[in-house]
Structures are given as C-alpha cells and as structure tokens.
Amino acid sequence: MTDRDSQVQGIFNRINASYDRINGLMTLGGHARWCREVARLAQVPPGGRLLDIATGTGVIALAARRREPRAEIVGVDFSENMLAEARTKPGADGITWEFADAHELRYADESFDAVTHGYLLRNVSDVPRVLSEQLRVLKPGGRVVVLETAPPRGLLKLAVSAGMSVVLPLLGQLVAKDRDAYGYLKSSTLGFIPPAEVARLMREAGFQDVGYESKYLGTNVILWGTKPPAARDSGTGTAAA
C-alpha cells in the first residue's frame, strides 16, 4: 500500500457515518438510484456470485441483494469503519463483508460472475492493476459495472467546478465536521480522468464491449464491460487448455 493509499484509507475511516448523507445531498438523491442501476446492469444470475469492491456503506451490494436474493454477494473495502457501517444496514446479514485491497484481491481466478464498484478508481494509486485484478477474478463472459465521478466539461465546467469547490467542503464541515476530508474528495473528483480515458483503460486491461453513460450534468458516469468468453478448441468444441 502506497502512502497515498494509506492517506485515502484514513480519510474514509473518518467519514463513514456521514458518507451516505452527503452523497445524497450532493447528487440530489441520484447516488442511490445510480447504485441500483449498477446492480441491475451487473446481471448477476440466480445463484451467481457478485464481488462489490470499495463497497463503502454497501449501497450497491444491498441493491444487488434485493434484485437477486439467491446470489452470493461479497462486499469488500479497505476501510474497516465503512464496513462496520455497512454491517448495520437492513439486509446486511445476507452479504459477506470483508476487508480487501483492490490492488491485490485474494480471490481465485474466475470466481465471480460479476464485479461492481462505486467511486473506486479515482481513489487508487494504480488503476490498470486494479482493473487487471477485476478481470482476473471474473468468469469468462462476466460483467464489470463501474460507478465513477467525472471531471465536468464544456459550458458547465466552470460553474460545476466552482460549485463543488465551495459546496463539498462546506457540507463536510457542517455534516461531518471534517472539511479536510471532503476537500480531498472534491479534488479527487475534479482531478480524475474523463470517462473516455477510463473506458480506454478498461479495454487495455482486457475487457470488451466497453461502454458508458454520463449522469448528473456529466459529473458522474456508469461504465460497463465484459470479460471475453473462454477460448475454445475449434476441433473438439471444448475449452482450450
């Protein structure tokens, strides 16, 4: 874990109690709706396995549980305080909550039908490695669905950037009593790469059928991709060794 990773971990360990409330205020309720959309797009089959990375307070994982009660859902995060918050929510008993570093997942190759995450990539030190780990643990044909922030562009760039620079730290001070932590979240949002660049990195990691849809004046985005199906021996019709 790099010094930056340790810093980010400390920040999320401090803001767990206020995280859902501020997300809801900042997105006018959109955050919970987008998490439900991520869970839907993951297309977890009945009895399948979903890994929700950077699960935070578990919003995506719990939405997936409601959609597919028979699935095995694992929510992981590197903030123990966020995991503690997730475990208090209704329905949390039906999910396995575990500590994990997204740079080095402990799960076996091809062990999940779908991988989801929200606001993970802007907070990690090595995006290509994190995406490669997700590809590794996905089964062939499995889907990854990503909820991420995006830097504002176009005519609204100045207004949105100015608004976030003022509103997010102010909400952090008023709601969480932690202006510095939400100052970091503001800078990591405005400084993150555009969705087209994230999509390119996903394709470079090995995902196919990559696409995305912008949300909330382009400041949030949902991206998706698929792990290629297993190669097959054209002579026997069985998977290649």
Q: In what order do the strands lie in the sheet with 138-149?
A: 96-99, 72-77, 49-53, 112-118, 138-149, 220-226, 208-215
Q: 56 near 116, Cβ under 8 Å?
A: no
Mean pLDDT of 55-79: 97
Whole-number average pLDDT of the chain: 88
Please report, in angstroms and rounded to a whole number, the separation of the first and last CA atoms in the chain: 35
More confident residue, 97 or 231: 97
Structural domains in the chain, sorted by start: 3-20+28-151+194-226 (3.40.50.150)
The pLDDT tens digits of the residues spanning 88-110 come to 999 999 999 999 999 999 999 99
Please give the pLDDT value at position 216.
Answer: 86
> pLDDT category, 222, cuts 50, 70, 90?
very high
Residue with tokens 């087209």: 196
Question: Which residues have a Cβ under 8 Å from the Cβ of 82 and sit 6 or more positions away?
Answer: 12, 13, 16, 19, 55, 56, 57
**Do the annotations mark residue 233 as ligand-binding?**
no
**Do the annotations mark residue 5 as ligand-binding?**
no
More confident residue, 199 or 234: 199
Mean pLDDT of 181-203: 85
- C-alpha closest to that of 224 among 110, 148, 129: 148
Q: Structure pTM?
A: 0.88
Q: 85 near 47, Cβ under 8 Å?
A: no
pLDDT score of 55 more than 90: yes
Please give the pLDDT value at position 191.
Answer: 77
**Do the annotations mark residue 52 as ligand-binding?**
no
Please give the pLDDT value at position 232.
Answer: 63
Mean pLDDT of 104-125: 97
Comparing 50-54, 79-83, 229-233, the range with the smallest average pLDDT is 229-233
**Do the annotations mark residue 101 as ligand-binding?**
yes
